[in-house]
Amino acid sequence: MKLFIIWSILLLLGGFSVLPENKCEAYKTGKFRIVDKKNKLEFTIERNDTLQTETNMADGQKARFRVNWLSDCRYTLTVIDGPRELTDFYKDKMLIVDIVKTNDEGYYSSSRLEGFDRVSKVFLKKIH
């Protein structure tokens, strides 16, 4: 029985050592591109620790959001300014974003508007 318990503990600890390390830190700042082929939209995003600027590549319109990091892989966006319909829509609402998977090219995010159930999933490609 003792051997079984020791073996189980070693197996458990060994399993944790092969978990991928958290790479969200690499995507907290930088320049990114989102391409939505379905809706024929393309955006570039520039983000520092506290501010995110999004540019619609089709018409050049820009929107700025306040960034608040809740954890290594979760942050919120609150609209500061931008096109009127966007600011009206996001007024008094927060977008909650989770980085769900990272790779060498960028990250997959899952986001939802506070108070709403609909989840949007996109890939943000890091622009070097």
Q: Where are the domains of the chain?
A: 23-127
The encoded tokens of residue 7 equal 């073996």
- CA–CA gap between residue 92 and residue 113 (Å, rounded): 11
Number of H helices, E strands in the chain: 2, 8
The model carries a pTM of 0.79
Secondary structure of 19-51 in HEC code, one letter for each residue: CCCCCHHHHCCEEEEEEECCCCEEEEEEECCCE
- Return the pLDDT at 67: 98
The list of the chain residues with pLDDT below 70 reads 1-22
Q: Considering the domain 23-127, what is its CATH architecture?
A: Beta Barrel (2.40)
User: Residue 95: which of 73, 125, 123, 116 has the closest Cα?
Assistant: 116
Residue written as tokens 């050592």?
17
30-61 burial, b for 16+ CB within 10 Å, e for fewer? eebebeeeeeeeebbbbbeeeebbbebeeeee
- Return the pLDDT at 22: 64
- Return the pLDDT at 97: 97
User: At 82, is the secondary structure helix, strand, or coil?
Assistant: coil
